[in-house]
């Protein structure tokens, strides 16, 4: 008898076809976000699940789903999964690292350029029929070339962002909890500095660290206050890393020129202050959303699930103690 699994959100048909020979697959191709209670009920008799960031896997759910053995996240982040609870209940948790680095870095650059050059304001100006003449001082923005780029977190995605900066002939500064190896610094042409120096010197700050209790509001009022009034903040990591209320306050006061944001605290809800401001570029957590990359993410999660429930050794295991 095949093991039962559940795919919690809509995925590509090819992914379901890949899973079908291995499991009895139930899916949610209608793509409705399930409540915690609905998710618990549907996983009660399942041994595996392909999950996304919209599903919380915690002690309450796992204690009521005794057959569950593998939770395979379609994301590189996994702050929706309580690994301690997974270890307790013998549940393997996996993620999808590597496949989205370039795509996410590309999108961070899209936010950098759109925010620096005030692209959303300019487009709205045309769409609203307000463009009646050329002006010398119209939509004056920030030059990206030869600017100083500050990267918070020189992990896989941060490194790709840094390498892209070479084409703009930028000075690249970075800060992380641990200094990168010399060969990485050299490849990225990045200089390690203190957190305070990064925020005070950078013209553009881009955030690329995962969310955890330790990184909650790692970019808060104190860090934002160090930034130049002409600087911009880019955030395409995880909601909660940046203190959104503090960012809104700085933008309102004019102590920061602008922000480009793909993630938010409590998303899909977001601080209403962002919607009031023209100098903020907003996108709905789509940094990895190219067709090829999202397909790779979903297929990697499926491969993790097959490996977990057959061999017990998925390639992207987050918690060896959960085996």
**pTM passes above 0.85:** yes
Would you name the residues annotated as active-site residues? Answer: 238, 267, 285
The CATH superfamily holding the domain 101-282 is NAD(P)-binding Rossmann-like Domain (3.40.50.720)
- Selection from 21, 73, 82 nearest residue 50 by Cα: 73
Q: What is the C-alpha separation between 202 and 226, in angstroms, rounded?
A: 10
Q: For 138, how many CA atoms within 13 A lie in the half-sphere containing its CB? A: 13
| Tokens (6 digits) for 63 | 């204690």
Q: What is the C-alpha separation between 89 and 42, in angstroms, rounded?
A: 18
Spell out a b/e string for 114-143, using b for 16 or more CB atoms within 10 Å of the CB, else e: bbbbbbbbeeeeeeeeeeeeeeeeeeebbe
Q: What is the C-alpha separation between 200 and 222, in angstroms, rounded?
A: 11
CA distances from 178 to 76, 142, 235 (A): 20, 31, 20
Domains 3-99+291-318 and 101-282 in one fold? yes
Regarding the domain delimited by 3-99+291-318, which CATH topology (the fold level of the hierarchy) does it fall under?
A: Rossmann fold (3.40.50)
Q: Could you tell me the residue ranges of all domains in the chain? A: 3-99+291-318, 101-282
Give the burial class of 16: count Cβ atoms within 10 A of its Cβ; 0-12 exposed, 13-18 middle, 19 or more buried: middle
Task: Specify whether the CB–CB gap between 191 and 173 falls below 8 A.
Answer: yes
List the pLDDT tens digit at each of the 323 positions of the chain: 899 999 999 999 999 999 999 999 999 999 999 999 999 999 999 999 999 999 999 999 999 999 999 999 999 999 999 999 999 999 999 999 999 999 999 999 999 999 999 999 999 999 999 999 999 999 999 999 999 999 999 999 999 999 999 999 999 999 999 999 999 999 999 999 999 999 999 999 999 999 999 999 999 999 999 999 999 999 999 999 999 999 999 999 999 999 999 999 999 999 999 999 999 999 999 999 999 999 999 999 999 999 999 999 999 999 998 88
């Amino acid at each position: 008898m095949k093991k039962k699994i559940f795919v919690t959100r809509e995925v590509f048909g090819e992914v379901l076809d890949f899973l079908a020979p291995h499991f009895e697959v139930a899916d949610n191709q209608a793509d409705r976000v399930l409540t915690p209670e609905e998710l618990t009920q549907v996983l009660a008799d399942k041994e595996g699940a392909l999950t996304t960031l919209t599903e919380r896997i915690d002690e309450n759910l796992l204690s009521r789903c005794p057959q569950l053995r593998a939770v395979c996240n379609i994301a590189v982040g996994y702050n929706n999964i309580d690994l301690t609870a997974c270890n307790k209940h013998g549940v393997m948790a996996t993620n999808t690292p590597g496949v989205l680095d370039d795509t996410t870095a590309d999108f961070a650059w899209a936010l950098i350029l759109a925010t620096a050059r005030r692209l959303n304001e300019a487009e709205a100006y045309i769409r609203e029929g307000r463009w009646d003449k050329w002006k010398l001082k119209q939509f004056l923005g920030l030059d990206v070339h030869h600017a100083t780029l500050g990267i918070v977190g020189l992990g896989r995605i941060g490194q790709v962002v840094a390498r892209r900066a070479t084409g703009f002939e930028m000075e690249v500064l970075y800060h992380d909890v641990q200094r990168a190896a010399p060969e990485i610094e050299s490849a990225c042409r990045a200089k390690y500095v203190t957190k305070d120096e990064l925020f005070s010197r950078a013209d553009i700050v881009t955030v690329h660290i995962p969310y955890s209790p330790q990184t909650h509001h790692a970019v808060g009022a104190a860090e934002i206050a160090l930034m130049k009034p002409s600087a911009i903040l880019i955030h395409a990591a995880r909601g909660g890393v940046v203190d959104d209320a503090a960012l809104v306050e700085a933008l309102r006061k004019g102590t920061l020129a602008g922000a480009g944001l793909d993630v938010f605290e409590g998303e899909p809800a977001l601080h209403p202050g962002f919607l009031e401001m023209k100098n903020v570029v907003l996108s709905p957590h789509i940094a990895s959303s190219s067709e090829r990359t999202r397909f790779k993410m979903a297929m990697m999660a499926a491969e993790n699930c097959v490996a977990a429930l057959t061999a017990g050794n998925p390639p992207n295991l987050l918690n060896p103690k959960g085996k």
